[in-house]
């Protein structure tokens, strides 16, 4: 208790020096939590966006469909099971027909994936409602990346050429009715989305689809064995793997930040303790044991960390909470560099992250205070009193 009292008295007595230490240490807390919160938020957002924009809560695939093998597309069109008719009409199951096609932006030819989806679907975030209305032209929607790479804007007409299931080539114009902004390249790059009914007609595949996307993880019973169920876990396995790989990077980043904080604390403590060796010698002369001195300085270091945690809470909680609420705007440049990042990243601060950071900084501050204090306390007190560095 006495040591705590003296440590507190020393800290408060040191005034500005203490508060500068505490401020720097509190910044370490906030920066570490902020950086990791941002990385966690990025990861979580990537997965959430993938579910919202692409996978839904689960999918049924035509049994031959392989998204990375375009040659499978021709044989991957099948009748939508009748058991799902009601849910499709309600927009809770989104059938998607997928086929290869070509389009001609500014006189060039480019292979694309043509995807048909009902305009009334409510399963994924694509603005398919933009395709409703005038039926004389084929309305289509594309992603921002697709629009930018081909210099297409809303209202533009692009020529589309495809081969139907009988092997006959056909062509038509598509009017771009919306350009959507997503950070999920799977629904953007090299793709044009048109109304499902129009595409079924174009390909001679009425009532057919390649995949079915559901807003629920559980499907109603159906009998058609040509449809294979894929749950969210399977559909997001790839991004989970990416997150896992990134997590290793995040952990390295976390450790580097902690080491930097540790170095800053160590430097401050070493400087402070060596500067105070005369004080240490005097305390020993006045009747403190070496162990009491070591304990005093160690507790001072730990108290620095506790005060820093309190200060970090004062300005850090409102700051981190506001960032979590309003998000961190990401520069446009990240997108052009090929990084699929949302316009804003919403950091996620887990209790585990906060507790581990506080405990780690506290332990670090304690250890790096103990080491130099022990060294000084081992000094000959007669030399320490004179302030002679040994």
Partner 1 sequence: MESNKTVIEIRNLVKTFPMGNREFTALNGINLIFSGGEFSGLVGPSGSGKTTLLNIIGTLDSPTEGEALVLGSSVGKLSQKNAAQLRNLKIGFIFQTFNLLPVYSAFENVEFPLLLQKLNAAERKKSVMDALDWVGLTDKIKSRPAQMSGGECQRVAIARAIVKKPEIVLADEPTANLDAENSHHILQTMVRLNHDLGTTFLFATHDEKVIGYLRRIIKLSDGKVSKDEMVTNK
- What b/e sequence results for 276-307 when a residue is b if at least 16 CB atoms lie within 10 Å of its CB, and e otherwise? bbebbbebbeeebebebbbbbbbbbbbbbbbb
Task: Report the greatest alpha carbon distance in the chain.
Answer: 101
**13, 86, 318, 329: which one binds partner 1 (CB under 8 A):** 13
Q: Does 369 bind partner 1 (CB under 8 A)?
A: no
Q: Does 282 bind partner 1 (CB under 8 A)?
A: yes
Which residues, 291 to 320, sit near partner 1 by CB under 8 A? 292
Which range touches partner 1 (CB under 8 A), out of 219-227, 246-254, 262-270, 287-295?
A: 287-295
**112, 288, 312, 342: which one binds partner 1 (CB under 8 A):** 288
Q: How far is the CB of 383 from partner 1 (least distance, A)?
A: 10
Which range touches partner 1 (CB under 8 A), out of 10-18, 28-36, 129-137, 295-303?
A: 10-18
Cα separation values, 190 from 69, 143, 148, 213, 348, Å: 15, 9, 11, 20, 32
Q: How far is the CB of 295 from partner 1 (least distance, A)?
A: 13
Q: Quickly count helices (H) and strands (E) in the chain.
A: 12, 13
Q: What share of the chain is helix, strand, coil (3-state, %, to 5)?
A: 55, 20, 25
Looking at the chain, how many residues does it have? 390
Q: Does 380 bind partner 1 (CB under 8 A)?
A: yes
Choice between 141 and 377, CB closer to partner 1: 377
| CA-wise closest residue to 167 among 75, 69, 98 | 75
Site size toward partner 1 (CB under 8 A) is 26
Q: Does 16 bind partner 1 (CB under 8 A)?
A: no
Q: Does 20 bind partner 1 (CB under 8 A)?
A: no
User: In sequence order, what E strands does the chain have?
Assistant: 58-62, 78-79, 93-103, 110-117, 138-143, 157-163, 169-180, 191-195, 208-209, 211-214, 227-231, 328-329, 344-345
Question: Using CA atoms, how far apart are residues 352 and 270, in angstroms rounded to an integer?
Answer: 30
**68, 218, 248, 286: which one binds partner 1 (CB under 8 A):** 286
Q: Does 381 bind partner 1 (CB under 8 A)?
A: yes
Which range touches partner 1 (CB under 8 A), out of 153-161, 168-176, 275-283, 367-375?
A: 275-283
Choice between 117 and 294, CB closer to partner 1: 294
Residues that bind partner 1 (CB under 8 A): 2, 5-6, 9-10, 13-15, 278-279, 281-290, 292, 380-382, 385-386
């Amino acid at each position: 208790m006495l040591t705590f009292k003296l440590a507190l008295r020393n800290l408060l007595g040191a005034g500005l020096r203490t508060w500068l230490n505490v401020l720097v240490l509190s910044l370490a807390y906030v920066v570490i939590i902020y950086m990791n919160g941002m990385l966690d938020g990025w990861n979580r957002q990537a997965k959430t966006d993938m579910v919202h924009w692409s996978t839904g809560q689960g999918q049924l695939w035509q049994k031959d469909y392989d998204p990375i093998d375009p040659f499978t597309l021709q044989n991957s069109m099948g009748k939508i099971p009748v058991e799902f008719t009601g849910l499709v009409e309600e927009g809770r199951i989104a059938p998607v027909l997928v086929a290869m096609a070509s389009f001609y932006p500014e006189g060039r030819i480019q292979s694309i994936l043509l995807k048909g989806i009902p305009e009334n679907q409510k399963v994924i975030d694509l603005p398919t409602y933009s395709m409703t209305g005038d039926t004389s032209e084929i309305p289509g929607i594309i992603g921002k990346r697709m629009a930018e790479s081909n210099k297409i804007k809303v209202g533009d007409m692009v020529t589309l050429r495809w081969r139907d299931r009988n092997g006959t080539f056909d062509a038509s114009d598509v009017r771009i009715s919306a350009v959507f902004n997503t950070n999920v390249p799977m629904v953007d790059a090299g793709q044009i989305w048109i109304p499902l009914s129009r595409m079924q007609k174009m390909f001679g595949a009425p009532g057919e689809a390649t995949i079915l996307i559901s807003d629920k993880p559980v499907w109603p019973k159906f009998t058609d064995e040509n449809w294979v169920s894929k749950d969210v876990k399977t559909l997001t396995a790839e991004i989970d793997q990416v997150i896992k790989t990134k997590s290793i990077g995040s952990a390295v980043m976390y450790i580097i930040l902690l080491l930097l904080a540790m170095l800053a604390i160590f430097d401050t403590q070493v400087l402070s303790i060596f500067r105070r060796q005369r004080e240490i010698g005097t305390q020993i002369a006045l009747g403190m044991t070496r162990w009491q001195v070591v304990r005093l300085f160690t507790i001072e270091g730990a108290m620095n960390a506790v005060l820093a945690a309190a200060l970090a809470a004062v300005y850090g909680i409102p700051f981190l909470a506001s960032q979590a609420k309003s998000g961190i705007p990401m520069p446009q440049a990240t997108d052009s560099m090929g990084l699929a990042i949302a316009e804003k990243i919403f950091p996620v601060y887990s209790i585990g992250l906060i507790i581990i950071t506080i405990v780690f900084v506290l332990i670090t501050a304690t250890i790096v205070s103990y080491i130099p204090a022990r060294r000084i306390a081992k000094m000959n007190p007669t030399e320490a009193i004179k302030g002679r560095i040994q």
